[in-house]
Amino acid sequence: MKNETTEKEPVMIRQAEEILEEEPWYVSAMSSLSALLMASMADLNWAGFYLVREGRLVVGPFQGKPACIHIPAGKGVCGTAAAQDRIQVVPDVHAFPGHIACDSASASEIVIPIHRGGRVAAVLDMDSPVRARFSEEDAAVLAEIVRRMEQKILWD
Ligand code: SME
């Protein structure tokens, strides 16, 4: 099931909410959310989470090929999003300085910081083999899912 039309994306928000309601513990919630995102959005080759741990990012629950396990602070798209605490929408990853190519199929990427107690605790990372895959509308929907995660997720 691939929801390609934007009017179906609010369904994805509701489904994300249901996952968080049923099990807010971060391992279960992030695993189920990565599966939901991968199944719901067209043209993805990776969807998942990196967690801030001991000053760097460590891979968390995801769907896709095995990826980089550690990302140094400030490096790549994920490290930049975490360090700057800013959503990154990258239409062409090959033009992004310091992009970390975990999967050579990736052409575009979106990364959204996730906060715990006002600090970046994790990021949502999604990759696509299609250039400029992620629209501003996608970013808004994904940011809303992240906002709900921030409200509900249990980190311990
Ligand atoms: N490309 C990312 C690394 C993570 S993988 O895409 C899953 C980056 O530059 O941060």
> How far from chain centre, in Å, is Cα 37?
9
DSSP state of 95: G
Query: Which tens digits make up the pLDDT trace of 110-135?
Result: 999 999 999 999 999 999 999 999 99
Give 11-152's CATH code, choosing from 3.40.50.2000, 3.40.80.10, 3.40.50.800, 3.30.450.40.
3.30.450.40
CB of 127 closer than 6 angstroms to any ligand 1 atom: yes
Q: Which atom of ligand 1 is nearest to the CA of 99?
A: 9
Rounded Cα gap, residues 102 and 38, in angstroms: 17
The structure's pTM equals: 0.93
Query: Which tens digits make up the pLDDT trace of 47-100?
Result: 999 999 999 999 999 999 999 999 999 999 999 999 999 999 999 999 999 889
* For the chain, domain boundaries: 11-152
Distance from residue 138's CA to the centre of ligand 1 (Å): 18
